[in-house]
Amino acid sequence: MRESQRRYIRYLRYGVQGWFLGFCIFIGYRFYQFVLHFEAEGYPFVERPPSVEGFLPIAGFMSFKYFLFTGIVEPIHPAAMIMFVTIVGVSFLFKKGFCGWICPIGTLSQYLWMVGRRVFGRNLVIPKVMDIPLRSIKYLVMAFFLFVIGITISPSMMALFFISDYYKIVDIKTMKFFTEMSTTTAVFLLVTAMLSLVFKNFWCRYLCPYGALLGLVSLLSPTKIKRDPEECVGCGKCSKNCPSLIDVKRKVVVHSPECFGCLTCVSHCPSEALKASIWTLTKRRFLKPAVYIVSLLAVFYMVIVIGIVTDNWQSKLPYVEYKRILSKPLPEHYW
């Protein structure tokens, strides 16, 4: 693979990431306008973008469990469940590919460490004796949510929660977390951003419980990065450039739950020793980068289209309910 082709893979990834980041900013602003219609007298009505429910993974997980037990798609935030299934499905099929190609938080985290590397000349690496305990944080948080939602909360309790005013505007609550953030939240985000300048993907590696879940799911993925030892020239560029700090040059198949499936290692390999591969019913087949990327995006959008076609995308919460809840001051604990 020529250098121009390898560089094209990286630029294509940056383009895909940029598209999803820009789209998230757009729907965030549209959602802000939607809320403003109810809070500011005379502000024109703007249609609520359902995609904003992608930022409600806990609601999506709850709705998914409720669907499994009852066969009913919760109607207030149905897109939350569709997005949860989509993201988990993509991470199962394409090795945590959601984190590496789509997630806007992951993209911002990447921008920060790339800026840090340019400013400081390098990124630091936390010693292994600290790295492993720090990585356990995201798994502990993930385990807490899996236990509370997956085990302790019954479907009947969920049904009562789904009809509460709190749940009806949980998307607005999430927005207010950032637009009207507390001092504690601001300090936490600032510290995380500063650490992300110095350490690669600090949030993703140590703090993101959603990423922890997707990483465990990706262990079962039929798609893996495979290294051919006979073609490998031992240059070490794959390990040096891996954003997840995986020592790819010492692997034959990359199984790590930290692998983003971002193809960065593939794009830096000068000898084509690294390839994305997928297990079929008969054998492991190699995937060209373009096929991998198109397939990932096709699956992502296909599940969303299914949600739209089956009328499980738009919220069924009526306009009058938003008006009732948002037209009066809410208790401080709502935010």
Write the pLDDT tens digit of every residue in 127-180. 999 999 999 999 999 999 999 999 999 999 999 999 999 999 999 999 999 999
- Give residue 2's pLDDT: 74
- Cβ pair 80, 64 in contact under 8 A: no
**Which residues in the chain land under pLDDT 50?**
334-335
Please calculate the CA angle 153-93-84 and round it to the nearest 5 degrees. 30
DSSP state of 199: B
Q: Which ranges constitute the DSSP H helices of the chain?
A: 3-39, 57-70, 78-93, 97, 104-120, 128-147, 155-162, 165-168, 170-179, 183-198, 202, 209-218, 237-241, 264-268, 289-309, 319-326
Radius of gyration, CA atoms only, the chain = 21
Which tokens in the block code for residue 105?
A: 């938080």
- Give residue 335's pLDDT: 45
- Give residue 332's pLDDT: 54
- Give residue 283's pLDDT: 78
- Cβ pair 223, 276 in contact under 8 A: yes
DSSP E strand stretches across 175-248: 223-227
- Give residue 55's pLDDT: 96
Nearest of 86, 118, 73, 116 to residue 20 by alpha carbon:
86
- Give residue 9's pLDDT: 93
**Cα(194)–Cα(187) distance, integer angstroms:** 11
Please calculate the CA angle 83-84-90 and round it to the nearest 5 degrees. 85
- Cβ pair 155, 66 in contact under 8 A: yes
Nearest of 222, 219, 237 to residue 274 by alpha carbon:
237
Q: For the whole prediction, is pTM greater than 0.85?
A: yes
